[in-house]
C-alpha cells in the first residue's frame, strides 16, 4: 500500500474527530453553526494578475481544498457538514475537478457556479463566520465574524494532531528529505542558489506556490540572514557554506526542515557537528508536560557552550546567556508549532480567552511558550550566526572584550548554522519525523 493510501485510510476518523471538536466549541460558545470560507483570490492593483491563492487553514483542517477559492463549509452541531464546492464555468483558468470520493463521502457536497453561493446556507439565528475574503466579511455582522473565543478554542484543538494529520506530516517530511538531498548534491556540484532551488522543487515535483513557505537557499554569508529571500543566480567566487531551510506539503500539511553544510572539512564542519549533536539532545528531551520555555533556555545555554568551545566568546556559557551575549549569535526562538501553517496557531495562549503565556525575559521572538501535549508537532531549530548588525551593536554598546573578533571576522563569510527537525510529542518517547525521513532514504 502506498503512503497516500495510508493517509486516506485515516481520513474518515479524522473528520469524525474534527466534527466532535467543532461541535464542542460551537456549543460552548452558544453558536448554531459556523460557516468557514476558503477565501478569494487577490488581484494585483491596476492589473488582472492574481496572486497565488492560500486557502483558509480552518477549511483545510476539514478537507484538502488547497486551490479551491470561494468554496465554503457549513458546520452545524450534530449534523453532517455541508460543502459549497465552487466549480465555475471558466475558460480563462482551469476550474476545480470533480470532488474526490475519499474526502467527499464525509460531506454533503453542493457544487455551485457562483462565488457567493454560500449565502444560501441555512446558518441559523446565531452563526459564526470564519474567513477573510472581502465578499465574505462585508456580508455579515462584525460581531459574528471570526469570534475570538471560538477561534481560540479551535486553535487549541488544532495543536493536537490526529493520526491523519500525523501521516500527512510524516509524508511531507519524506518529501522534504528527498528534496534536501537533491539540493545538497546541487551545492556540492557548485550550482547557484537559484539553480539549487530549482533542483529542490524538481526533486519532489512541487512549484513554489505549493511549498509551505519560500525556500531559504543561502550560500556563504547569506546564511546569516534569518529569512533570506533572494535566490542569487551567480555562484560566489569561493564556496564556504550552504544553509537550506525548506519544506514540502501533503494535503496542505507542512514540513519545515533546515540543514547546514560546509564546503570542506575543517573547523566550520566541526561546528556544524557540534550543533547537530546538541540539537538531537534537545529533540530527545521533548516529552509531554515539558514547559517549552525551559527547553528554549537550555538551547541557549547549549549554543553559548559551543561559542565558548570554539573560542568565539571569552566568557562562560552561563554569563553569555545572562548578559544577552548569546542572543547576538542566536536571536530567534528554539521552535514553533507546525501543521497547516508553518508557524501554526496557539503557541502563545493558554485558554479560550486567549490568555497569553509570557516569553522568558529577553527572548521576544520565541513562538511557543506552552507546556507540550501528546499530539503536538513542533520544530526544534537552534541556530548560531554571525549577523553583522547585531555584532556591530554589541561592539558599540556591549562588552566588546567578551567576543573574539578575529574568530568572528574569520567565520562571518560562512554566515551561520541552523539545524531543524519536526518532532511529534507522544505519551512516551518523542518521534522525530525528520530524522525518520532521512533514515528512510538510506534503506
Secondary structure (3-state) at 321? helix
C-alpha separations of 274 from 129, 238, 260, 288, 308 in Å: 49, 24, 12, 26, 12
C-alpha cell of residue 327? 542572543
**Sheet with strand 377-380: strands edge to edge:** 377-380, 421-424, 431-432
Q: CA 370, 372, 373: angle at the middle one, nearest 5?
A: 125
C-alpha separations of 406 from 41, 262, 410, 411, 412 in Å: 52, 20, 6, 9, 10
CATH of 163-441, one of 1.10.3720.10, 3.90.230.10, 3.40.50.150, 1.10.1040.50: 3.90.230.10
Query: Are 108 and 83 in contact, with CB atoms under 8 Å apart?
Result: yes
Domain ranges of the chain: 3-158, 163-441
C-alpha span between 330 and 312 (Å, rounded): 13
CATH of 3-158, one of 3.20.20.60, 3.40.350.10, 3.20.190.10, 3.30.9.10: 3.40.350.10
C-alpha span between 416 and 387 (Å, rounded): 8
Per-residue pLDDT tens listing for the chain (443 residues): 344 557 899 999 999 999 999 999 999 999 999 999 999 999 999 998 889 999 999 999 999 999 999 999 999 999 999 999 999 887 667 778 888 999 999 999 999 999 899 998 999 989 999 999 787 888 888 999 999 999 999 999 999 999 999 999 999 999 999 999 999 999 999 999 999 999 999 999 999 999 999 999 999 999 999 999 999 999 999 999 999 999 999 999 999 999 999 999 999 999 999 999 999 999 999 999 999 999 999 999 999 999 999 999 999 999 999 999 999 999 999 999 999 999 999 999 999 999 999 999 999 999 999 999 999 999 999 999 999 999 999 999 999 999 999 999 999 999 999 999 999 999 999 999 999 999 999 86
C-alpha cell of residue 54? 492560500
- What lies within 8 Å, CB to CB, of 192 at 6+ separation is 219, 231, 232, 233, 234, 235
- What lies within 8 Å, CB to CB, of 377 at 6+ separation is 161, 165, 166, 169, 337, 338, 339, 422, 423, 424, 425, 433
Element (H, E) at 249: strand 249-250
C-alpha span between 69 and 290 (Å, rounded): 39
Amino acid at each position: 500500500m502506498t503512503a497516500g493510501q495510508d493517509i486516506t485510510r485515516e481520513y474518515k476518523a479524522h473528520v469524525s474527530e474534527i466534527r466532535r471538536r467543532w461541535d464542542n466549541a460551537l456549543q460552548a460558545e452558544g453558536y448554531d453553526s459556523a460557516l468557514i470560507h476558503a477565501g478569494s483570490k487577490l488581484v494585483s492593483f491596476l492589473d488582472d494578475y492574481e496572486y497565488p491563492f492560500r486557502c483558509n487553514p480552518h477549511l483545510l483542517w476539514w478537507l484538502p481544498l488547497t486551490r479551491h477559492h470561494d468554496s465554503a463549509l457549513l458546520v452545524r452541531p450534530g449534523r453532517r457538514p455541508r460543502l459549497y464546492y465552487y466549480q465555475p464555468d471558466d475558460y480563462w483558468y482551469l476550474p476545480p475537478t470533480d470532488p474526490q470520493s475519499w474526502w467527499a463521502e464525509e460531506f454533503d457536497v453542493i457544487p455551485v457556479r457562483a462565488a457567493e453561493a454560500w449565502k444560501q446556507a441555512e446558518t441559523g439565528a446565531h452563526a459564526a463566520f470564519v474567513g477573510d475574503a472581502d465578499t465574505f466579511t462585508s456580508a455579515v455582522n462584525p460581531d459574528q465574524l471570526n469570534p475570538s473565543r471560538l477561534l481560540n478554542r479551535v486553535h487549541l484543538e488544532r495543536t493536537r494532531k490526529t493520526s491523519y494529520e500525523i501521516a500527512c506530516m510524516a509524508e511531507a517530511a519524506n518529501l522534504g528529505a528527498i528534496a534536501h538531498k537533491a539540493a545538497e548534491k546541487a551545492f556540492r556540484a557548485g550550482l547557484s542558489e537559484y539553480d539549487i532551488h530549482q533542483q529542490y522543487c524538481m526533486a519532489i515535483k512541487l512549484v513554489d506556490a505549493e511549498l509551505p513557505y519560500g525556500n531559504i537557499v543561502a550560500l556563504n554569508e547569506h546564511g546569516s540572514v534569518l529569512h533570506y529571500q533572494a535566490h542569487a543566480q551567480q555562484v560566489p567566487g569561493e564556496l564556504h557554506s550552504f544553509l537550506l531551510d525548506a519544506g514540502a506539503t501533503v494535503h496542505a500539511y507542512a514540513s519545515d526542515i533546515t540543514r547546514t553544510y560546509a564546503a570542506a572539512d575543517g573547523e566550520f564542519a566541526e561546528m556544524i557537528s557540534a550543533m547537530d549533536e546538541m540539537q538531537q539532545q534537545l529533540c530527545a528531551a521533548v516529552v509531554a508536560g515539558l514547559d517549552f520555555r525551559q527547553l528554549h533556555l537550555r538551547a541557549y545555554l547549549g549554543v553559548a557552550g559551543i561559542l565558548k568551545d570554539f573560542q568565539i566568546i571569552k566568557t562562560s556559557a552561563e554569563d553569555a546567556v545572562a548578559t544577552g551575549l548569546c542572543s547576538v549569535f542566536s536571536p530567534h526562538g528554539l521552535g514553533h508549532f507546525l501543521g497547516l501553517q508553518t508557524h501554526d496557531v496557539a503557541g502563545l495562549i493558554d485558554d479560550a480567552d486567549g490568555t497569553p503565556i509570557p516569553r522568558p525575559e529577553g527572548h521576544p521572538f520565541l513562538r511557543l511558550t506552552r507546556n507540550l501535549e501528546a499530539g503536538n508537532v513542533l520544530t526544534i531549530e537552534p541556530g548560531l550566526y554571525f549577523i553583522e548588525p547585531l555584532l556591530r551593536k554589541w561592539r558599540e554598546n556591549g562588552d566588546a572584550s567578551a567576543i573574539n573578533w578575529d574568530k568572528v571576522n574569520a567565520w562571518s563569510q560562512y554566515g551561520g548554522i541552523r539545524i531543524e527537525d519536526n518532532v511529534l510529542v507522544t505519551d512516551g518517547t518523542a518521534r522525530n519525523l525528520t530524522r525518520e525521513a532521512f533514515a528512510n532514504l538510506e534503506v
